[in-house]
């Protein structure tokens, strides 16, 4: 397992070592000692599993303090474009985003600190995404920003790439109208 910096303070891509034999393959998603050594949170309190079809965009989600959280995200089936945007006003990267592919094939995960909005777009026919968070979900603290308000290249090229979003995700304010609680 290798924890790689991304250029955004608090966001890391984790490259997993895997083992493959005639039974299939195996890899470790989380190692507390390595995370602690890198200064990352290791006390995850809740885990989620989502399945989505091609061109679904889920995001850009976060929870406001005091229920904000760190998040560890990986994909066990399919491929997604995983996106985080810095919503910490005092950060030198405020409003900037980082995007990377997470897939069952590349076996990468992403660690996201507090103060970032997170989302993803499904690039394959379907995808299964897993999230571990350092706090439990608190519905009244659940927020988001509009997926297309911060200049992200979501790789939408043609008519077959129209994104599928929930009404809730379409209703979020744009980054330019967002009053950050961080």
Q: Catalytic positions, please?
A: 61, 131
Q: How many CB atoms lie within 10 A of CB 161?
A: 13
What does the DSSP 8-state code read for residue 8? S
79 near 102, Cβ under 8 Å?
yes
User: Using CA atoms, how far apart are residues 166 and 61, in angstroms rounded to an integer?
Assistant: 12
Is residue 153 within 8 Å of residue 159, measured between CB atoms?
A: no
b/e sequence 125-143, b meaning 16+ C-beta within 10 Å: eebbbbbbbbbeeeeebeb
Per the CB < 8 A criterion, the answer to whether 172 and 144 are in contact is: yes
């Amino acid at each position: 397992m290798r924890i790689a910096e991304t250029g955004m303070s608090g966001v890391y891509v984790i490259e997993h070592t895997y083992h493959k034999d005639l039974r299939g393959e195996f890899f470790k998603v989380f190692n507390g000692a390595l995370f602690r050594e890198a200064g990352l949170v290791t006390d995850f309190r809740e885990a989620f599993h989502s399945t989505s079809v091609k061109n679904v965009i889920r995001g850009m989600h976060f929870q406001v303090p005091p229920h904000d959280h760190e998040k560890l995200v990986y994909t066990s089936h399919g491929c997604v474009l995983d996106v985080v945007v810095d919503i910490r006003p005092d950060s030198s990267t405020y409003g900037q985003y980082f995007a990377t592919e997470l897939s069952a094939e590349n076996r990468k995960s992403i660690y996201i600190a507090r103060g970032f909005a997170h989302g993803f777009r499904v690039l394959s026919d379907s995808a299964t995404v897993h999230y571990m968070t350092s706090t439990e979900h608190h519905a009244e603290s659940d927020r988001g920003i509009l997926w297309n308000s911060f200049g992200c290249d979501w790789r939408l090229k043609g008519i077959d790439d129209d994104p599928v979003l929930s009404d809730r995700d379409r209703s979020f304010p744009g980054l330019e109208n967002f009053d950050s609680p961080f």
